[in-house]
Structure 1
């Protein structure tokens, strides 16, 4: 017996947020997160804007791009 489940594909909004996070990460010491939001869909969030990522945001992170800049010269 074969079963099928519905697996929704990421929206265009997800890929736009991912692209923004990847671009920002290249020039940042901080991680960039793609966050899911019921009203906005997905958006990119710079971890450097927060001392610690609040739990209500951390629980909605679907992807993280690590900051590309190093503090070592």
Structure 2
């Protein structure tokens, strides 16, 4: 993984907050990805059948989904 000189801490915290809220009511992991400009976005793993390699390479943090599908 490469590190960028550009880093937007407030964007990371916003993506982290979004991922934490979504993970609390999701079966799927929430990933925080960094973009080329140093910004961040959160994605729900359940929105993809399988994460494409370019997205996997941009993951900087993962929050596990909180729901368990077992009865």
TM class, shorter-chain normalised? 0.7 to 0.9
Unaligned 5+ residue runs, structure 1?
1-6
For these two proteins, the number of residue pairs brought into alignment is 67
Structure 2 partner of 1:61: 59
Unaligned 5+ residue runs, structure 2?
none
Structure 1 partner of 2:13: 15
Asked whether the equivalents of residues 7 and 39 of structure 2 are also in contact (C-alpha less than 8 Å), the reply is no
User: Aligned Cα RMSD in Å?
Assistant: 2.0
- The CA distance in 2 between the partners of 1:29 and 1:49, in whole Å, is 11
Counterparts of 1:1-73 in structure 2, within 5 Å, are: 11-39=9-37, 41-73=39-71
